[in-house]
Amino acid sequence: MAMNIKVPTAELIKLVENRIEQLNKEIAEYPKKRADYQKAREKYQTEVAKFALDFIKKNPKAIGWDYQDDVRISLVHKGVSFEFDSRAIPNFPQAPEQPQTPNERRHIGRDWTTPLEALEGTLKALKLTSQQEVSQTTYGSILGLL
């Protein structure tokens, strides 16, 4: 049994306008989030270095050459590399989460565009239509942008 579902165009326009507003807010907040991330990243690097040194001093038997060792030594081009298994070592500092770029250019359908440009184009098209309702297929494709 096939169903033919229609979605009110006015409701869809509200959804798109709300998403554009939200995206503009995310774009405005991104520089601050990025700066906060950079500060947290610098702090994390210091914490990892301190933790690693303390761990090596306290647990020399955890160091080995095998892949499954908590701290693995590898000979590299002109030196030695220490690799820590952060999942196996208790209390290993956790990296800060990097904020996602809210309006990064990407493929949307067959276009290489930003989400904001795609939403603005969709909004223009929806406002130009004289139809009171859009099909479920149209709604589904727009929903992917929201």
* pTM metric for this prediction: 0.73
Tell me whether residue 145 is in a domain: no
Q: How many domains does the chain have?
A: 1
What pLDDT, on the 0 to 100 scale, is given for residue 30?
97
Tell me whether residue 25 is in a domain: yes
Report yes or no: 52 and 84 within 8 Å, Cβ to Cβ: yes
Domain housing 40: 10-138
Tell me whether residue 71 is in a domain: yes
Q: Mean pLDDT, the chain, as a whole number?
A: 90
Distance of alpha carbon 37 from the chain centroid: 13
CA distance readout (Å), 17 to 22, 26, 124: 9, 14, 11
Tell me whether residue 144 is in a domain: no
Tell me whether residue 4 is in a domain: no
Q: What is the mean pLDDT of residues 72-88?
A: 89
Tell me whether residue 24 is in a domain: yes
pLDDT one-digit tens code per residue, 40-65: 999 999 999 999 999 999 998 889 99
Tell me whether residue 74 is in a domain: yes
Three-state DSSP class for residue 97 = coil
What pLDDT, on the 0 to 100 scale, is given for residue 20?
96
Tell me whether residue 19 is in a domain: yes
- Residues 40 and 46: their CA atoms lie apart, in Å, by 10
